[in-house]
């Protein structure tokens, strides 16, 4: 494998960057979303009447790719905002609903521009002034309230308007996406002040979202709020192919990444909610999740790879003050994934092929070969034909790669 990995490139087409211009896939970005292209290349290898499962829905890339090809798909996530987004992305929209959303969006903008609605309350996001200027916040509060005035029923019209609103709120913010996770633009320059006609930004976003809404998928997606560690508890059907990108053991917090959308749409009310949700997430480490790790104890009945203890010791004994907590983090990550692999077989048809797109990780120089740990766990739980294939370099660190770990469930 080493000769092969030397030739690997970073391949932007294998990341979320490829999705931005791809219709509904481009509605909202999540940096750790994977590329539609990766999913399509895998799905195309299989027959046309298969059902697809993704236990880690995220922005719904797998489900949308599958249903766009006419396949049925199911997907789970523990984050209710992502469940809402993936449901909106995979929904079928009638022409009349799209026309109604267009009319309602323009009417809402007119109300917001004239300032004749009671503005919505500002979301309780920490340091909101860092995110949006006073003018941008004022406009967004007016627009949110106006949207909810023109369309007060839950359903497809308000979903489309809220997706457009989410696009606009990010464009008017000082958020930057040039790092692995969301950060602030240099000098925290808020785009609203560079682009004074925020109304035009919203109209562009509305047009983009409605353009995507016209591309109705051919298949049906089932999008379920649930914990991937207990798949049979939330999904009754069985599947032929799994294509998924689980959280990596890299301490990325999806809640942190998504907080601007989640606060504006009311999915988060305070920092406590945010860190409780992150504790539920595999690999989550934001807020209280870090202190809970200190009290977490390993489940001795949960199988993990035989070489894991040596890696954990190296991380714990490393030359840094966080070694112990990082070692616990990796141990919990592996136990969570082991529980997932164990639960997976209950929702697979005999002969099902699973694909995990996952990156390895380093902790102060100690390499965690997540892909090898997955391969070992799949073998342990009765999968065969386990294959580990490097697909791209993740950044300038030569050892950080992304892999497709695949295996067959014989039933
Ligand atoms: C790498 S992201 C998936 C990105 C997705 N492939 C996409 O293209 O947007 C991993 C996802 O796993 C979800 N997740 C973390 N722990 C989970 C759990 N226990 N059960 C279900 N989903 C979980 C996170 O909320 C996050 O959305």
Q: Identify whether the C-beta of residue 409 lies closer than 8 Å to the C-beta of residue 383.
A: yes
- Does one domain contain both 382 and 238? yes
Residues 128 and 188 in one domain: yes
Q: Tell me phi and psi for residue 407, to 5 degrees.
A: -165, 165
- Which residue is associated with the tokens 């406590």? 272
Tell the residue nearest (CA) to atom 3 of ligand 1: 58
Same domain, 103 and 146: yes
Domain end position, chosen among 171, 194, 213: 213
Q: Which atom of ligand 1 is nearest to the CA of 54?
A: 6
CA of 285 to the centre of ligand 1 (A): 14
Q: Are residues 225 and 309 in the same domain?
A: yes
Q: What is the number of the ligand 1 atom nearest to the C-alpha of 58?
A: 27
CA–centroid distance, 288 to ligand 1, in Å, is 19
User: Is the minimum distance from the CB of 249 to ligand 1 under 6 angstroms?
Assistant: no
Spacing, Cα 101 to ligand 1 middle (Å): 29
For residue 161, give its domain range: 95-213
**C-alpha of residue 77 to centroid of ligand 1, in Å:** 6
Residue 245 CB–ligand 1 contact under 6 Å: yes
Question: Buried b / exposed e across 164-174, counting CB within 10 Å, b at 16+?
Answer: bbbbbbbbbbb
Whether 347 and 370 share a structural domain: yes
Mean pLDDT across the chain: 90
pLDDT score, position 3: 44
Point out the domain boundary residue: 167, 186, 213: 213
Q: Are 227 and 192 within one domain?
A: no
359 lines ligand 1 (CB under 6 A): no
Residue 59 Cα: closest atom of ligand 1 = 9
Same domain, 247 and 202: no
**Ligand 1 centroid – CA 182 distance (Å):** 17
pLDDT tens digit sequence for 1-38: 444 444 676 666 655 666 566 689 999 988 777 788 88
What domain count does the chain have? 2
Q: How far is the CA of 16 from the centre of ligand 1 (A)?
A: 14
Tell which one of 54, 87, 247 to mutate to probe ligand 1, the residue whose CB is within 8 A of the most ligand atoms. Answer: 247
Residues 152 and 248 in one domain: no
Residue 174 is encoded by which pair of tokens? 């000082």
Cα(206)–Cα(161) distance, integer angstroms: 7
Do both 329 and 183 map to the same domain? Answer: no
Tell me how far the alpha carbon of residue 228 lies from the centroid of ligand 1, in angstroms.
9
pLDDT digit string (tens) for 343-397?
999 999 999 999 999 999 999 899 999 999 999 999 999 999 999 999 988 876 7
The CATH code of the domain that includes 57 is 3.40.50.150
pLDDT tens digits for 137-173?
A: 999 999 999 999 999 899 999 999 999 999 999 999 9
Which residue, of 178, 213, 248, is where some domain finishes? 213
Model pLDDT, residue 19: 59
Residues 375 and 304 in one domain: yes
Q: Are residue 78 and residue 192 in the same domain, yes or no?
A: no
Q: Is 311 in the pocket of ligand 1 (CB under 6 A)?
A: no
- Out of 2-16, 89-103, 281-295, the most confident range is 89-103
For residue 31, the model assigns a pLDDT of: 73
Residue 307 · residue 313 · CB < 8 Å: no
Exposed/middle/buried for residue 217 (C-beta within 10 Å: 0-12, 13-18, 19+):
buried
- Same domain membership, residue 303 and residue 161: no
Q: Which residues, in sequence order, are CB contacts of 319 under 8 Å at separation 6+?
A: 364
Which protein residue's CA is at the shortest distance from atom 7 of ligand 1? 33
Confirm or reject: Cβ of 78 under 6 Å from ligand 1: yes
CA of 190 from ligand 1 middle (Å) equals 29
């Amino acid at each position: 494998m080493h000769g092969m990995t030397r030739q690997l490139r970073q391949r932007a087409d294998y990341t979320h960057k490829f999705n931005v211009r791809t219709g509904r896939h481009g509605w909202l970005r999540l940096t750790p979303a994977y590329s539609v292209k990766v999913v399509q290349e895998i799905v195309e290898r299989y027959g046309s009447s298969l059902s697809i499962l993704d236990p880690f829905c995220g922005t719904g890339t797998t489900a949308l790719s599958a249903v766009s090809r006419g396949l049925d798909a199911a997907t789970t996530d523990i984050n209710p905002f992502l469940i809402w987004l993936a449901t909106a992305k995979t929904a079928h929209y009638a022409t009349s609903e799209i026309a109604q959303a267009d009319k309602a969006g323009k009417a809402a903008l007119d109300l917001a521009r004239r300032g004749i609605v009671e503005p919505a309350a500002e979301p309780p996001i920490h340091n909101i002034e860092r995110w949006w200027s006073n003018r941008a916040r004022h406009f967004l509060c007016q627009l949110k309230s106006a949207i909810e005035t023109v369309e007060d029923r839950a359903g497809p019209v308000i979903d489309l308007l809220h997706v457009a609103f989410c696009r606009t709120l990010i464009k008017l913010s000082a958020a930057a996406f040039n790092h692995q996770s969301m950060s602030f633009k240099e000098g925290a320059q808020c785009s609203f002040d560079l682009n004074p006609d925020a109304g035009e930004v919203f109209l562009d976003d509305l047009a983009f979202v409605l353009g995507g809404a016209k591309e109705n998928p051919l298949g049906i997606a089932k999008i379920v709020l649930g914990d991937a560690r207990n798949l049979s508890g939330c999904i009754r059907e069985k599947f032929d192919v799994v294509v998924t990108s689980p959280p990596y053991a890299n301490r990325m917090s999806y809640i942190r990444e998504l907080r601007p959308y989640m606060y504006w749409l009311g999915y988060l009310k305070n920092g406590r909610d945010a860190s409780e949700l992150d504790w539920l997430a595999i690999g989550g480490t934001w807020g209280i999740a870090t202190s809970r790790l200190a009290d977490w104890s390993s489940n001795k009945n949960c199988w993990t790879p035989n070489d894991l203890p040596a890696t954990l010791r190296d991380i714990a004994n490393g030359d840094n003050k966080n070694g112990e907590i990082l070692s616990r983090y990796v141990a919990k990550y592996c136990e969570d994934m082991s529980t997932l692999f164990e639960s997976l077989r209950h929702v697979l048809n005999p002969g099902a092929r699973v694909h995990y797109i996952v990156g390895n990780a380093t902790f102060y120089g100690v390499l965690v070969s997540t892909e090898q740990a997955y391969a070992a766990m799949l073998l342990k739980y009765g999968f065969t034909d386990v294959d580990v294939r490097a697909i791209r370099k993740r950044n300038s660190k030569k050892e950080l790669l992304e892999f497709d770990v695949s295996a067959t469930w014989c039933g």
